[in-house]
Amino acid sequence: MTRKRTKSALRSIARDVGKNPKFRRMVEEEKLNARIAQMIYDARTKATLT
């Protein structure tokens, strides 16, 4: 069975995992971690620490 190609990693993950609640929680947690990491990086860059 061939799959339709997509350029979006998020669409690919969503297609493969579906509506698995545990996976969805993990994704939300990682999105939060990424936002926090970006905030730290931005603050360090602004303070010329990075």
Structural domain contains residue 18: no
Does 45 reside within a domain? yes
Domain that holds residue 31: 25-50
Q: Is residue 9 part of a domain?
A: no
How much is the pTM? 0.63
Residues 1-50 have pLDDT tens digits of 576 776 788 888 777 777 788 988 888 999 999 999 999 999 999 999 97
Question: Which residue in this structure is represented by tokens 């926090």?
Answer: 36
Structural domain total, the chain: 1
pLDDT at position 3 is: 66
CA-based nearest residue to 41, from 29, 9, 33: 33
